[in-house]
Amino acid sequence: MKATADMRLSPTDWHNLVRFLAAQDVRTPARLAENLQRWKETLPGMLDETLQDSVRRFDLAKKSGQVIKPTTVAHSDYIPLRITTQTQPGQEFGKVKGEMVAGRGLWFFSMRHLLTKTAKVLHNHRWSILTPPDELTWFTTDDPVVRLNYYGDGRYDFKGGWGNPGTEIFLPLDPRHLLYTKVGERPPRRGWVVPRAEAEMIRRFIAEHAHRFIFAASPDAEVPRLRPRIVDLALLRDEDEQWRRWQGDQTNAERELIDSRKQSD
């Protein structure tokens, strides 16, 4: 392994690079698709649990004479949420209903929260810049930040967390520089050239992690082997149509929820 002659980065440079990595991790179509699937599975239960907890707190406050002070969550104005109550005349109890659009607004809130709060953990890690051997280069993709859990013997997944010990996080910056850390461990010295076998593994991880596209500064004969191209006209047209309707569908769903909330107020 040999050191490169690149200029040393300042603390501000490292801070900005890590923030750039965080932004590239949360803003991709792949992360949106992942969030939409997770919200579909978890949001109904979370919303119901939150409502029940709120009702219990209000009930206890009323019995004890305690005043509950409202709290505001940063960037919560992005969340399309509607809370309504239903009571019958003469009845002591009623119903509380919560509705939320799990889409654009919640995604904006999630990105804001991650980049202003959660991303701070990334600055606690020790980062390095890895260089490939002369005959190889780094390419990148439309889902460029890889969060790798490697278990050995060829077993791995891309479900690592920003603060998960042992997770390797890396982002290609250009054909010769890869921003890298392994959570909880000391990284290789900055500027060291990665051995060919390890560089080939990193390139494979980058390719496998791609969502739809791989981008390289020049033709790379190994890419089709690492990630075979799929030609599917029906899939392409269907996905293009979904993206074409996305903005309008989200706007209509959020407007309908807001208009219904105003009518009930």
DSSP per residue over 73-86, as a string?
-TTGGGS-EEEEEE
Q: State residue 264's pLDDT score.
A: 57
Q: State residue 155's pLDDT score.
A: 95
* Beta pairing partners, 149: 157
Any domain includes 133:
yes
Q: State residue 2's pLDDT score.
A: 42
- In terms of domains, do 119 and 129 share one? no
Any domain includes 257:
no
- In terms of domains, do 14 and 96 share one? yes
Q: State residue 262's pLDDT score.
A: 57
- In terms of domains, do 44 and 117 share one? yes
Tell the residue number behind the tokens 């005349």, with chain if given: 89
- In terms of domains, do 82 and 134 share one? no
Any domain includes 167:
yes
Residue pLDDT, tens place only, 182-192 = 999 998 887 78
- In terms of domains, do 117 and 74 share one? yes
The H or E element spanning position 141 is: strand 140-141
Give the C-alpha separation, 116 to 119, whole Å.
6
- In terms of domains, do 137 and 176 share one? yes
- In terms of domains, do 12 and 101 share one? yes
- In terms of domains, do 37 and 59 share one? yes
Any domain includes 239:
no
Any domain includes 36:
yes
Q: State residue 4's pLDDT score.
A: 44
Contact call for residues 177 and 151 (beta carbons, < 8 A): no
Q: State residue 6's pLDDT score.
A: 65
Residues of the chain with pLDDT under 70: 1-6, 260-265
User: Could you give the 3-state DSSP secondary structure of residue 129?
Assistant: strand
Give the residue numbers spanning the domain of 44.
7-124
- In terms of domains, do 180 and 92 share one? no
Number of domains in the chain: 2
User: What does the block give as tokens for 190?
Assistant: 């900055």
Phi, psi dihedral angles at 17 (to 5 degrees): -65, -40
Determine the straight-line distance between the first and last CA of the chain, rounded to whole angstroms: 68
Any domain includes 192:
yes
Give the C-alpha separation, 253 to 237, whole Å.
23
Contact call for residues 145 and 171 (beta carbons, < 8 A): yes
Give the C-alpha separation, 187 to 179, whole Å.
11
Any domain includes 259:
no
Q: State residue 260's pLDDT score.
A: 65
- In terms of domains, do 182 and 156 share one? yes
Any domain includes 33:
yes
- In terms of domains, do 48 and 106 share one? yes
- In terms of domains, do 88 and 154 share one? no
Residue where a domain stops, chosen among 124, 148, 170: 124
| pTM for the structure as a whole | 0.85
Residue where a domain stops, chosen among 85, 102, 124: 124
Residue where a domain stops, chosen among 89, 124, 159: 124
Q: State residue 11's pLDDT score.
A: 95
User: What does the block give as tokens for 245?
Assistant: 């309707």
